[in-house]
Structure 1
Amino acid sequence: MAVTVAITIFIVSYIFIMTEKINRALVALAGGLLLLLTDIYEWETAITEYVDWSTVALLFAMMVLVSITKKTGVFSYIAILLAKAVKGKPIPLLVGIAVLTAFGSALLDNVTTVLLFVPVILTLTELLKLPAFPYLITIIISSNIGGTATLIGDPPNIMIGQAVPHLTFVSFLVHTAPIAMIIFVLSITILTFIFRKHLKTIDQENIKTLMRMKEGHYLNKTPLLYQSLAILALTITGFILHPVLHIDLTIIALCGAILLMLISEKETDTEKVFEQVEWVTLFFFIGLFMLVGGLEEVGVIDELAKSIMWLTEGDMMYTALLLLWTSGLFSGVIDNIPFVAAMIPVIQEFQSYGMGNLDPLWWSLALGACLGGNATLIGASANVVVAGLAEAQGERIPFVKYMLYGLPIVLLSLVITTVYVYIRYLLPYQQSL
């Protein structure tokens, strides 16, 4: 009976999260509450065993750092500087914003990056009388690919990094960044070719208006500018030096956030900084961990691990490739965050069935989930955020229209990643047997 109840609550919650009829954080928390009311687990168990507070705290710290840095206008300054550097030419602007988004998504996180750059690109496209859709879809795809490259770039990577301590910030740079760069170049080349006819030469008067803009007006050259950039750089350096410092990533991020709030207290109101935090996203994570915890409590996760092991007969190659494609395709249909939350305990369970080195499976999950998020508008949190920001400005992104571009890029990404995973991980693994 408990199994049926837990699965039913999980599936119904998933359906509501996918349809977005009700706020997804509210749905996830309601699902977690139902699990408590039906005695699937106790409150203490849910809070202490199933909610990953390290992931929640890490996301919170990065949100604080970026919300303070945003006040300096540095992100608007960079975007306008880029537009002027390419003289407002549509194709170079498309490539430039793609590079900027991918880079920002790797160093910050993709949700924060799109929140910063979408309003700016909408302003630029309106000024230059350009169609916004090509730029919006480029931002979505670039943010997910760029987020794939680092531990903090995409929520699934953060969750995997917290679950597997030896997969450090540098580990992600070494293992996921190379393939992310290859796929990024190919994806932007394809998008540029597809949209070339839509991005023709624009009116010279519009370009002159752009060139007359003073990007310096958007930059607040106060002590806060230098303080926020310095601490942001120190925090990222701390991530990179994590194996040497032996300090938890969450602690590093929290130290950066608290330090910046302390030294900038005269210029920033702490209450207003907290208002800028994406609390909906954080509470969504908490509810999500509770939902997955319910499945783990009743043994569904254990049975899923056994099923995969039975299907692949414990063969590392088949298991890794099945995981890559399953995570890639499922993440396109549902948000990659709940999928990864469900799969982490499944992979951890493989050790009890005799699998030693699980790293190929972790990299398959990370790459599949992050890259698969590009398939649809609900495939990743960044996609939903971009769609919401665009619609608020009258630039609606049709679900099916987006999928016609996103799905082929995901399939191409998964094919390339299959070759990468096989050559880099599975071939050496087979040779070592």
Structure 2
Amino acid sequence: MQIEKDLISGTNSKPLVGVPDAWTSSYHLGNIRGDLREADSHASIYGDHPIQSERLTTALIITKIVILMIVWCFFTFYLVFEPPEKIVSTVVLIQPNETLLRTVKLPYDAAEITLSGPIDKTLTASPGKAGDEPAMGLRVEYRDSDMKETYKQTDMWNVYLTHDADKYETVRNIFEISPVRGSAKSVISMEGKSEFPVALLMEFDDRPIISLLGVIYATMLLIGLYILVVFEVTDRTLAALLIASTALAILTAMGNRPTMTTIISWVDFETLMLLMGMMIMVAILSETGLFDWLAVMAYRVSMGQPWALILFLSLFTAVFAAFLDNVTMLLLMAPIAIRLCEAMALRVSLVLIIVVCYSNIGGTLTPVGDPPNVIICTNAVVEHDGIDFATFTLHMLPGVLLSLMVGYGVFYGMMRHALFDLDPKQILLAREHEISRALPDEKTLARMRELMNKRSLKMCLKPADNYYIVLATLESQYQIRNVPLLIKSMVALIFTLACFLLHSLPFLPGATLGWVAVLAAFLLLILANVRDVEVILAQVEWSALLFLAALFVVTETVDQLGFISWLGEKTVQMILTVEKKHQLTVAILLIIWMSAILSAFVGNVPVTAMMLKLVVEIYRNEQISVQLSPLIWSLSYGVCLGGNGTIIGASANVVAAAIAHHNGYKISFMYFLIYGFPLMIVTTSVSCIYLLIAHSVFSWHRTEGESD
């Protein structure tokens, strides 16, 4: 029979290579040989091309081990022999119109003082906007032994207070003062400038990092991380852990070793909880057969045409990522994409890159679509400026739509040929399934004839070769397997979606993304009556979570070393070099491109936290005449679109690489960079042009919290 002959031989599109068997390997590991799904732990650090010389291979391995051992010895020495830094904390009571003196020791030329209490943080950061508000003044001085004569003093730091006793804010400042010879004593002078007494918690650090050396160390840490990750010197997670430990050792060597409590506080557990909860839900949902069924529907809608299918997957992912968050959508769509790629002989790694990049673009749209946007929109200064869900979405929509359109063109131009070059392991899997592939039964052939008879003459797309026999085969093989479990999963997903959309409302203050995901996972575990939780937990990508946790520590350490402050100072200086009428334009350009580049090479979640501080500082700077909202849009576009630049640029990218590895495929740093970085440049450029037209030309940045 001609149909059977075509099914065995295939056509140019090769849609039926191992369709029935390949799909069972898309999410679970049971049907993939161990040697196909294991990481390439013995691969060369230069890629998949083997080094012919055994001596050279041995030399490279020994060199790698020696270098990593030196790094290990460095941070082990400092972390073992140096205790955590002890910060002196004390409560100070400042009376009205009185001066309080506290003697301190200054072994170096600087000190950092942190104050916590009923403080007006906004006025403290912008003293020029203050009037007769209550305040207290603080400075560091050198006085004689009797505390009567002042030899040297720093500028006065005015800390403005609030009458709201329930308000608790923290501010800090670094004082630089050269020592005075002789018997002079260093003191902290606190002067009351209010009509009421105030009690504040004061922390004193006599060894702050203020030198350019810290910036150099931070730069070396980032370069070291990328050498380990880009050239795959070692496992990505191990590389991040080694650099994080080295970063802590550098802080320790400079006299600022943080406590374990402080280190834990640097990790964004909200993001990790979101990922873990959604991974658990997807693991259970995959047992229902929903992903198989959706894949069949996608094949039907696209008529088996590869680029039509990619357009459908991309837009579907982007739209729902805006409301479900991009990581959740990736976890839902990745198994479907893998199934379709295996069925249609498309390169799995490339399609996964497209899906994850579109999830990042779609997540840019709303405050709940991407973790960086959550950080931005929950900031007190941003909320005070009147930037709510609707305002944020309205201003982000044009840039997101433009990015979606140009993104498809970028991917088509770069992948139109490579898309059909299968992954090496995908070829091996196809060869395995070629042997065991069976001919279609009579029921499948009957369904094929039925589909051919029902075809419409008004089809928008031409069906691919063997479209009908492939569709009939898929329909017969892949259906919903467990309807009760699917209903329970839908209950958990509806709960998740409802809480994601409503978490910004005042009556749901605790419905953060992380907690919602974990609570929904608990709900599904209870409804599904899971008896062996270890089976479910085994499908959580713990290495990806640990990798992100290590990145958070590295990023915070880079901030502690002064890299971000130094970058902020240079940014402010550049903005001040232009006339006031051009300051907004320069600020938009600097923020969107700085945040995009940093997000690509550091990670957009930690970069958002750091850049948000810089944005607020620029907004509060009395010498810079800019409004807050255009800076917020620039930051959001920069960090969200910049996350597409590299594999560690966004949490979703890391998860995509983990899912690919879980299924026997590989997405390396360089491989992702080749396709992701050009997309990042193009989409960021388009969004930047939109921002300049909307805000520099037409001034479309009036929100309720802003004044003319």
Q: Specify the alignment match of 2:396 in structure 1.
A: 176
Deviations 1:126-184 (A, max 9, x none): 43345657644532432332232344544433444565673766665444344323321
CA distance in 1, matches of 2:682, 2:643: 13
Q: Specify the alignment match of 2:590 in structure 1.
A: 322
User: Is 1:86 the counterpart of 2:86 in the alignment?
Assistant: no
| CA distance 1:215–1:324, shift in 2 (3 Å) | farther
Q: Specify the alignment match of 1:57 in structure 2.
A: 273
Residue 79 of structure 1, CA deviation? 1.9
| CA distance 1:357–1:235, shift in 2 (3 Å) | farther
Gapped regions of structure 1 (runs ≥ 5) = none
- Tell me the C-alpha RMSD between the 2 structures: 3.9
Q: Is the 8 A contact 1:106 1:153 kept in 2?
A: yes
Alignment of 1:241-320 (within 5 A): 241-244=502-505, 245-248=507-510, 249=512, 250-264=514-528, 266-267=529-530, 269-313=532-576, 315-320=583-588
| CA distance 1:190–1:241, shift in 2 (3 Å) | same
Secondary structure, in 3 states, of the residue corresponding to 2:482? coil
Which segment is superposed worse, 112-121 or 141-150?
A: 112-121
Residue 42 of structure 1, CA deviation? 2.1
Q: Is the 8 A contact 1:25 1:280 kept in 2?
A: yes
The equivalent position to 2:689 in structure 1, one of 414, 419, 427, is 419
User: Is 1:370 the counterpart of 2:643 in the alignment?
Assistant: no
Which residue identity lines up with residue 144 of structure 1 in the other structure?
Answer: N
Secondary structure, in 3 states, of the residue corresponding to 1:176? helix
The equivalent position to 1:358 in structure 2, one of 615, 628, 631, is 628
CA distance in 1, matches of 2:533, 2:389: 29
Q: Is the 8 A contact 1:90 1:201 kept in 2?
A: no
Deviations 1:74-101 (A, max 9, x none): 2332122110233312332222222233
The equivalent position to 2:362 in structure 1, one of 136, 141, 146, is 146
User: Is 1:346 the counterpart of 2:614 in the alignment?
Assistant: yes
Deviations 1:285-306 (A, max 9, x none): 3322322322333444333222
Gapped regions of structure 2 (runs ≥ 5) = 1-206, 421-460
Residue 324 of structure 1, CA deviation? 0.7
Greater RCO (CA < 8 Å, at least 6 residues apart): 1
The equivalent position to 2:315 in structure 1, one of 99, 122, 132, is 99
Which segment is superposed worse, 208-217 or 197-206?
A: 197-206
User: Is 1:22 the counterpart of 2:292 in the alignment?
Assistant: no
Deviations 1:314-357 (A, max 9, x none): 93432222111222344445544454454344334445634785
Q: Is the 8 A contact 2:323 2:501 kept in 1?
A: no
Alignment of 1:37-76 (within 5 A): 37=249, 38=252, 39-44=255-260, 46-47=262-263, 49-76=265-292
TM (norm. structure 2) is 0.52
Which residue identity lines up with residue 501 of structure 2 in the other structure?
Answer: I
Secondary structure, in 3 states, of the residue corresponding to 1:293? helix
| CA distance 1:276–1:191, shift in 2 (3 Å) | same
Q: Specify the alignment match of 2:408 in structure 1.
A: 188
Alignment of 1:131-170 (within 5 A): 135-161=351-377, 166=383
Which residue identity lines up with residue 254 of structure 1 in the other structure?
Answer: V
Q: Specify the alignment match of 2:31 in structure 1.
A: none
Residue 281 of structure 1, CA deviation? 2.9
Deviations 1:185-244 (A, max 9, x none): 332255457766878988733641233322784423333211222222222222222232
Which segment is superposed worse, 350-359 or 286-295?
A: 350-359
Q: Is the 8 A contact 2:364 2:637 kept in 1?
A: yes
CA distance in 2, matches of 1:92, 1:78: 16
Which residue identity lines up with residue 569 of structure 2 in the other structure?
Answer: K
CA distance in 1, matches of 2:358, 2:340: 18
CA distance in 2, matches of 1:397, 1:263: 35
Which residue identity lines up with residue 176 of structure 1 in the other structure?
Answer: M
CA distance in 1, matches of 2:606, 2:276: 18
- Identity of counterpart residues, as a percentage? 30
Secondary structure, in 3 states, of the residue corresponding to 2:466? helix
Which residue identity lines up with residue 234 of structure 2 in the other structure?
Answer: I
TM (norm. structure 1) is 0.81
Residue 308 of structure 1, CA deviation? 1.1
| CA distance 1:44–1:403, shift in 2 (3 Å) | closer
Q: Is the 8 A contact 1:55 1:159 kept in 2?
A: no
CA distance in 1, matches of 2:540, 2:487: 21
Q: Is the 8 A contact 1:51 1:289 kept in 2?
A: yes
Residue 359 of structure 1, CA deviation? 3.5
CA distance in 2, matches of 1:105, 1:121: 15
Q: Is the 8 A contact 1:336 1:369 kept in 2?
A: yes
- Between structures 1 and 2, the one with greater helix share: 1
Q: Is the 8 A contact 2:372 2:608 kept in 1?
A: yes
- Between structures 1 and 2, the one with greater strand share: 2
| CA distance 1:420–1:285, shift in 2 (3 Å) | same
| CA distance 1:76–1:106, shift in 2 (3 Å) | farther
Q: Is the 8 A contact 2:604 2:640 kept in 1?
A: yes
Which residue identity lines up with residue 272 of structure 1 in the other structure?
Answer: V
